[in-house]
Amino acid sequence: MYPVRLVGEKVVLREFRLDDEDALLEVIGDDRVTVWLSHDSRSRDEVQAMLGGIVERARQEPRTEYALAVTLPDSDRLIGLARLGLGVHQGAKLGYAIRADEWGKGYATDAARTLVDFGFGQLRLHRITAAIGPDNAASMTVVERLGFACEGQLRDHVFTNGAWRDSRLFSILHT
């Protein structure tokens, strides 16, 4: 399914474009954002390579991920990203990140809700998970608002910022 454009209450999710490089760098090149993610801050070259891969994978059949740019309805400028990585048994992993100067406005919640609705509706998923660092209270609040339940803690789940980090695993099932 390409291209995808999903309209939420506060945000619009659209396919990434190669000209999103500068705006994406403002998100995943910022230590204030990546301290909460499963990877360190990315350089311009790394963002460029990542973006090229996202654009290429979006056109593959069958599609294995829906990595989408988070934008505001009145602007096409990227303020974040949201992703469903498809797995086996009608499952997917949810991830999202919003530019630091846009935090606290409900954009992450709306982007995650919009993507979860898409996953259960159009993709007919049964289960969606989110792995969140145990100190990331804001992100745990996002998924809890959407009805995700905490399943437990994954020990030494990711290596980021020079150390192993646990993750709390949350999931939601299609009902």
Distance CA(6)–CA(15), nearest Å, equals 10
Report the pLDDT value the prediction gives residue 170, as an integer from 0 to 100: 98
Does residue 160 carry a pLDDT above 90?
no
**Per-residue pLDDT for 175 more than 90?**
no
Domain regions of the chain by residue span: 5-123
Angle value at C-alpha 146, between 126 and 70, nearest 5 degrees: 90
- Residue 49 and residue 126: Cα distance in Å, rounded? 32
5-63 pLDDT per residue, tens: 999 999 999 999 999 999 999 999 998 998 888 888 899 999 999 999 999 999 999 99
Residue type, 101: D
Question: Does residue 168 surpass a pLDDT of 90?
Answer: yes
Instruction: Kindly give the residue spans of alpha helices, DSSP state H, lying in the chain.
Output: 21-28, 31-34, 44-58, 107-121, 137-145
Torsion of CA 140, 74, 80, 121, to 10 degrees: 60
pLDDT tens, residue by residue, 97-152: 999 999 999 999 999 999 999 999 999 999 999 999 999 999 999 999 999 999 99
Structure tokens of 73? Answer: 């309805």
Q: What CATH number was assigned to the domain covering residues 5-123?
A: 3.40.630.30
Q: In this predicted structure, what is the pLDDT of residue 38?
A: 81
Indicate the pairing of strand 149-160 with strand 163-173: antiparallel
- Are 37 and 18 in contact, with CB atoms under 8 Å apart? no
